[in-house]
Structure 1
Amino acid sequence: MRKIVVGTRQSALALTQTGQVVEQLRELCQKLGIECEFELKKIVTKGDRILDVTLSKVGGKGLFVKEIEQALFDGEIDMAVHSMKDMPAELPEGLVVGAVPHREDPRDCLITSGGVTLDELPQGAKVGTSSLRRSCQLQNYRADLQIESIRGNIDSRLKKLESEGFDAILLAAAGLHRTGWQDRISEYLPTELSLPAVGQGALCVECRGNDEFVLELLKHFNHEPTALAVAAERSFLGRLNGGCQVPIGAYASLGDEGGNPVITLTGMVGSPDGKQMLKETMTGTDPDKLGSQLADTLIRQGAVDILAMVRG
């Protein structure tokens, strides 16, 4: 019997989604006739330790994955479950994405104190989010809103909605679904209004590139349509040298043309105040090529200058 140690952040959401993945892997092992036992190992990341400043001010990539990846290199764990939106566009040499499971709802959603929608919020309403991407798109849509930073896990943010006088907060629908808080959602924001973060709603199972046993197991766990869509989004992110600290959004969906998958990818780059926003949509069959081409289109329109201003 092979013992597989699974690394995860220790937040309630991370533990919940990792537990769900492990349970699905147990069922898969039974189906394949593979004898495995799984053990969870909680790991604290830099992003978990720094909660008093916005992610954009912490700096660096991989704020929620570096310590976990080091545990993979050190042999302390055999695989790790991440939220795909936390993953840098490039992985360290020796590590690979072994599987991308079926994607949850990728949309952003609004939680309001009175259950009202975005259009029903009063003039100058106080809205909480730690994401420059969400702030950019929200202020582009409604410049009157007062955007303030809010950090912490889902439970603490929901409490701050009441205790700190927010009229609304923005969160990813996927996290609320996975932790059973979906009844708190006041409105799902359409992707046309709030383009998701790259990989939002998807998970990533990372492992060592030379662990043939784990790679073979994860091959059966991969959801190819999700993997293709996320690959296009991550190619877009990589070409722009972006991360979760800059206002970049992308979302890909799959269609069918003569039995072959066709990817429709929309990408966005904007300023945090929402006054500048570049957004385009392209289609293609090669996810890496499509993401790069879409990024180049926005670069020609001035995306690099916007991102340089944000980073500066």
Structure 2
Amino acid sequence: MNIRIGSRGSALALAQTNNIAQALSDLGHETKLIIVQTAGDLDQDRCFSEIGPAGVFVREIETAILDDEIDLAVHSYKDLPSQGPEGLVVAAIPERLTPEDCLIMRDDGQPDRSPSGLKLEIDLRLKKNAVVGTSSERRRALLRSLRPDLQIVPIRGNVPTRLAKLHEGQYDAIVLAAAGLIRLGHQQKASALNLGRFVNLRLDPTIFVPAPAQGALALQCREGDRVIDAVAPLHDVSASGPVRAERELLRLVDGGCSLPFGAWCRRVDGGDLELMSVLESDGVLVRKSGRAENPDKLAAVLWAKLSHTLPETPTDGTSLEA
């Protein structure tokens, strides 16, 4: 089968797409890569909330699928809005990589330490009033809760560009998804990223709660298309339950507010799912968690807990995570 795969042109997007293309090739399919420029790629200056509604990295790609210009898209699942356009489906979720965020810092020559917790580690590593780059409202809120003194400023560009800005001294630290660094590292020579220049601190997801579906990919295509059968072998059942719980909670939260939000789900002893969430309301972080076997039921339980903490203000429909 010949499959036209759409991708953004960034190094990370191409690394992800090339991995899927190789997997499909191993299954006997022929693939063709088609680069699609998105609003988020074309506008490198403004914050995501200023560019437009949710989906700044996916809208043009979804349009290309619907217009039969491509057959399949490989998305970072966290970039997809909670509600997709009619006529499209997520046909498969491949194996998920680690969901954590990383705090990447310039190496100041400090000796290694063995701190007892995430806040202490950040206290030891970052100077007072350090400048930290992130364009995510979720990351901004979580950093503020750990270190109110930090100067948190926007940063745009692909991963290599952000690392270059950090190396040049524009920032003392930046926050990136660990999965993106892993995928880029697998596709590029170590010298391309040169992470040895920096201190890389993995942020505990039970405290620094990731974006819903962070670390997961979404393979999107047209409803009823034969591509669904082609990508079925790439679907990872073990990843789909936790991701579904996170995405369902995102859908419920998206319909009720537009606040910084994170969700992370994992399997625990006995096979149940444990879902953790964090939401900033009126400058206060609200953390809720719960356990259940069914991902949809678990998300509903968490939303019931979260919704009681929210101010009664109308939603503007904007995205909760950038």
Q: Could you tell me the TM-score, scaled by structure 2's length? A: 0.86
Instruction: Map 1:282-293 to 2 at 5 A.
Output: 282-293=290-301
C-alpha contact (below 8 Å) 2:39/2:51 kept by paired residues? no
Structure 1 SS opposite 2:73: strand
Match of 1:229 in 2: 242
User: Quick one: distance in 2 between partners of 1:102 and 1:283?
Assistant: 22
Match of 1:32 in 2: none
How far the C-alpha of 1:219 sits from its partner, in A, is 1.8
User: Quick one: distance in 2 between partners of 1:255 and 1:307?
Assistant: 34
1:176 lines up with 2:203 in the alignment: no
Encode CA deviations 1:196-250: one digit per residue, 9 max, x unaligned. 0011100000011111x2111222210011111111001110001179x841100
Match of 2:76 in 1: 83
Structure 2 SS opposite 1:41: strand
- Quote the sequence identity (%): 39
1:262 lines up with 2:272 in the alignment: yes
C-alpha contact (below 8 Å) 1:107/1:191 kept by paired residues? yes
Q: Over aligned residue pairs, what C-alpha RMSD do you find? A: 2.2
Encode CA deviations 1:243-277: one digit per residue, 9 max, x unaligned. 9x8411000001352xxx31110111115xx9311
Task: State the AA in 2 paired with 1:214.
Answer: V
Structure 2 SS opposite 1:124: coil
User: Quick one: distance in 2 between partners of 1:61 and 1:214?
Assistant: 26
Over 3 Å counting, the alpha-carbon distance change for 1:50 and 1:292 in structure 2 is farther
Structure 2 SS opposite 1:186: strand
User: Quick one: distance in 2 between partners of 1:300 and 1:82?
Assistant: 33
Aligned length: 296
Instruction: Map 1:1-312 to 2 at 5 A.
Output: 2-27=1-26, 29=27, 35-114=28-107, 118-120=122-124, 121-180=126-185, 181=193, 183=196, 184-211=198-225, 213-241=226-254, 246-257=259-270, 261-270=271-280, 275-302=283-310, 305=313
Structure 2 SS opposite 1:240: helix
C-alpha contact (below 8 Å) 1:269/1:303 kept by paired residues? no
- What stretches of structure 1 of length at least 5 have no aligned partner? 30-34
User: Quick one: distance in 2 between partners of 1:23 and 1:304?
Assistant: 49
Structure 2 SS opposite 1:96: strand
How far the C-alpha of 1:56 sits from its partner, in A, is 2.7
- What stretches of structure 2 of length at least 5 have no aligned partner? 111-120, 186-192
Task: State the AA in 2 paired with 1:255.
Answer: V
Task: State the AA in 1 paired with 2:43.
Answer: I
How far the C-alpha of 1:293 sits from its partner, in A, is 2.1
Structure 2 SS opposite 1:119: helix
Over 3 Å counting, the alpha-carbon distance change for 1:187 and 1:298 in structure 2 is same
User: Quick one: distance in 2 between partners of 1:242 and 1:170?
Assistant: 27
Q: Could you tell me the TM-score, scaled by structure 1's length? A: 0.89
How far the C-alpha of 1:296 sits from its partner, in A, is 2.1
User: Quick one: distance in 1 between partners of 2:18 and 2:292?
Assistant: 35
| Displaced runs of 4 or more, over 4 A | 181-185, 303-308
How far the C-alpha of 1:59 sits from its partner, in A, is 3.5
